[in-house]
Structure formats: C-alpha cells, structure tokens
C-alpha cells in the first residue's frame, strides 16, 4: 500500500499507477486502515476505467489529451481564443493531466464548481482601492468552467466516439444566475461615449450599435461580408451561424474600411513602434507606429473599458449595446418576432425580456384612450 499523509493535512492520500497512468488524491480519512481500503477501491476503479477507455476509439482519454485536442480542433478558432485557452488549462490544472475523462462524474464536477466559485474575480485578492475583491459570479463559473468541460465531453462523444458511463448530469451543476437586466443607453451617455472613442476604433463601435452583435461576433472578416446578398454571416454563440443585414448604415461603416487589411474588417493604428512585442500566440510580432493591425477580442475589451471610464458612463457593459438596440428596435416596430430575428435568438422567450417596451406602449395607449373618453363626456 502506498497511502501517505502529506504535510498540513490530517487525511491520508493515495498515489499509484495503472497502465502507466498516475492516480492520486485524498482518501478523505485520517484512519490509515480506512485509507488503505479506500486506496484499494480506487485501484479497482482505475483498472475498470482504464479497461473501458481502451475499448474506445483512440485509446485512454485523459483530460490533458482531450483538452489539447479540443483546443486544436475548436478552441483556437474561437474569437475569444485567449479566454478559451485559459479556461481549458484551468481544468487540466485542477484535475491533473492524467485524470481519465471516463473517471469524471457528478461528485468531481460538484467539487470543481465549489472550487471555482470560491475564487476571486480576475484572480486578484483586492481592488485598486485596497478593498477585498469580489468572488467570481455564478455566470462566470457556468461559462468559464462547467460549460467548457461539458463542451469537451460533447466533442469526445460525438466526434471522437468515446463513451462515458459516469458522465455528469450537467443541469445539476449549472448555478442559478440573476435575471439579466435590460440597460438602455441615454442620449447624453451615447454622446459621451462617442467623444471618448479613438477615431480608429470608432467604426467598430458604430458597427456594434447598428447591429447589436456580441463582442466576439464583432471580430469580423471580409470573407464573412457578402455584398451581393446583403448579409454578413458569422459563427456566434455556441457556434451557431449569425446573419446580420448590411443596412445602409452598416454599408456606410464598412465601405471606407476596404483596403485597410486583407483579412480583417476592423483595424487600429499603432500609436507607437514596438519591437519584438510578444503576442499571445508567441509569434513575437512587433508594431510600427501608424501601421494598421487587426482589432482582437482582448484588444476590443481593453479599449471598451478605457472608453467607458473616460466617458464616465456607469453600469453599462459592452453587451448592453445589444440590449440598447433591441429596446429601441422593439419600440420602433412593436414586433417581438422582428427583434428575435435581429438578435438571432433561438427561442423567443429570450426576446421577451424586452417586452417592458410594449408595456410602455400599452400604458400610453390606455392613457390616450382615457383622455378621449373624458373629452367625449365633457362634450356631452
């Protein structure tokens, strides 16, 4: 038996290898005899899992192998690939590279979620003002952790043909999120944001106001713009195609940008020369003052924070441009179905969050009717 008691813990741990794969963890007991019994159970479990994995196409699938393959096939192509890279590496670090995917069950995911939600936002202990940093939100836990490992499981099942008898019931681990509020941009705020925006970033912000696309969907390529059909088609949330009409406003935004870059639509001008600047992908690409470079997902996020701070606009996120457009569009048309199509909502229930606009119109109509009735009574 190889149970042992590490420093700073009252519990025995097990550490053994089966088929060249290392298995280790806590026995969750301070009694050596119970720990040895737990280790025996874990060994038998490991042998069964390894045998099941070998029967699957491609051999044993560890989380390290699965994460690397998911990154190569899917993750690196995300508009927010930097975030995807961070999320999948967080999973590998938590479970350990040798953890078999077939060994991950409900208990493992429950502990993973508990571990993640205890972390602070941005990985910082305190704010710039010295205040304790808030914990990550339920939405962050869901999207950066639970959803990511679920997607890896789904890819392994559908494409790599693996079976997972212990696959978690994902609904049980999805944290409840507060109902998303709808934020409309005031005219004064709109003017302040416009004045605070750099000239080279103005087109992309004009574009998001005109289309209501999500941040990652604004990293647009010319190949996704079809001038003949009058539509822009891009992969959006959950890799679903998102179609956006090239309205006269969108056309006026895009036409002057042709020739700035052969692949990407939105670019920025380097404010200064940087030699050998290391990029996320490690290509060491530098920047020359005055030259244009594609606006990236992280670059757009950073620029938005600067603009919002400079404009003094509070409680307005990038995603709220989407809410702003939807609210104004519904007020203009009075048609929820039109708004659903404009925002590419799969289910109209998602669109009904903007129904308060129609309530305002109903209240106005009732008030108008009431005034007419009063006028009629006085006329008599």
Residue 48 counted as domain residue: yes
- Mean of the pLDDT values across residues 270-279? 69
Q: Which range of residues forms the domain containing residue 147?
A: 67-173
Residue 164 counted as domain residue: yes
Evaluate whether 354 touches 326 at the Cβ level (below 8 Å): yes
Share of the chain above pLDDT 70, in %: 87
Instruction: State the total domains in the chain.
Output: 3
- Asked if residue 255 and residue 198 are part of one domain, the reply reads yes
- Asked if residue 166 and residue 82 are part of one domain, the reply reads yes
- Asked if residue 221 and residue 159 are part of one domain, the reply reads no
By CB atoms closer than 10 A (0-12, 13-18, 19+), residue 111 is exposed
Range in 48-62, 65-79, 227-241 with the lowest mean pLDDT: 48-62
**pLDDT value at position 282?**
38
Q: How confident is the model at residue 279 (pLDDT cuts 50, 70, 90)?
A: very low
- Asked if residue 287 and residue 195 are part of one domain, the reply reads yes
Residue 343 counted as domain residue: no
C-alpha distances out from residue 104 to 61, 88, 115, 152, 371, Å:
11, 15, 15, 12, 66
Q: How confident is the model at residue 56 (pLDDT cuts 50, 70, 90)?
A: low
Domain stops at, among 297, 316, 335: 316
Domain stops at, among 266, 287, 316: 316
Residue 369 counted as domain residue: no
- Asked if residue 307 and residue 195 are part of one domain, the reply reads yes
CATH of the domain at 270: 1.10.443.10
Residue 139 counted as domain residue: yes
- Asked if residue 231 and residue 193 are part of one domain, the reply reads yes
Residue 287 counted as domain residue: yes
Residue 61 counted as domain residue: no
- Asked if residue 164 and residue 195 are part of one domain, the reply reads no
Residue 109 counted as domain residue: yes
CA separation for the pair 319, 299 (Å, rounded): 16
**pLDDT value at position 23?**
74
DSSP E strands: which ranges in the chain? 13-18, 21-26, 225-226, 231-235, 241-245, 267-269, 292-294
Answering whether pTM is above 0.85, one says no
Domain stops at, among 173, 207, 232: 173
Share of the chain above pLDDT 90, in %: 44
């Amino acid at each position: 038996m190889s149970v042992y008691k590490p420093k700073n813990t009252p519990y025995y741990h097990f550490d053994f290898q089966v088929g060249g794969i290392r298995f280790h963890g806590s026995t969750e007991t301070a009694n050596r005899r119970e720990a040895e019994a737990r280790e025996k159970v874990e060994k038998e479990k490991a042998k069964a899992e390894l045998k099941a994995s070998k029967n699957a196409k491609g051999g044993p699938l560890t989380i390290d192998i699965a994460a690397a393959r998911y990154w190569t096939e899917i993750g690196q192509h995300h508009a927010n690939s930097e975030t995807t890279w961070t999320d999948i590496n967080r999973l590998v670090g938590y479970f350990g590279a040798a953890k078999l995917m077939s060994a991950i069950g409900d208990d493992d995911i429950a502990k993973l979620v508990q571990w993640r939600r205890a972390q602070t936002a941005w990985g910082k202990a305190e704010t710039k003002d010295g205040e304790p940093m808030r914990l990550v939100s339920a939405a962050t836990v869901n999207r950066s952790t639970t959803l990511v490992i679920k997607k890896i499981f789904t890819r392994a099942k559908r494409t790599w043909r693996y079976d997972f008898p212990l696959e978690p019931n994902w609904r049980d681990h999805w944290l409840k999120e507060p109902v998303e509020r709808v934020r409309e941009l005031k005219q004064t705020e709109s003017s302040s944001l416009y004045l605070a925006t750099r000239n080279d970033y103005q087109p992309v912000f004009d574009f998001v106001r005109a289309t209501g696309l999500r941040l990652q969907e604004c990293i647009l390529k010319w190949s996704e713009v079809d001038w003949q059909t009058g539509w822009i088609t891009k992969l959006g949330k959950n890799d679903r195609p998102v179609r956006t009409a090239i309205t006269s406003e969108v056309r006026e935004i895009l036409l002057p940008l042709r020739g700035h870059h052969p692949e990407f639509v939105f670019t920025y001008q380097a404010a200064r020369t940087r030699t050998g600047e290391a990029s996320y992908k490690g290509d060491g690409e530098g920047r020359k003052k005055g030259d244009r470079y594609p606006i990236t997902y992280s670059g757009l996020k950073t620029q938005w924070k600067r603009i919002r701070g400079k404009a003094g606009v509070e409680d307005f996120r990038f995603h709220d441009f989407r809410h702003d457009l939807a609210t104004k569009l519904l007020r203009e048309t009075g048609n929820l179905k039109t708004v659903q199509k404009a925002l590419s909502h799969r289910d109209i229930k998602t669109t009904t969050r903007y129904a308060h606009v129609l309530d305002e119109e109903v209240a106005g109509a009732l008030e108008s009717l009431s005034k007419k009735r009063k006028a009629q009574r006085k006329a008599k």
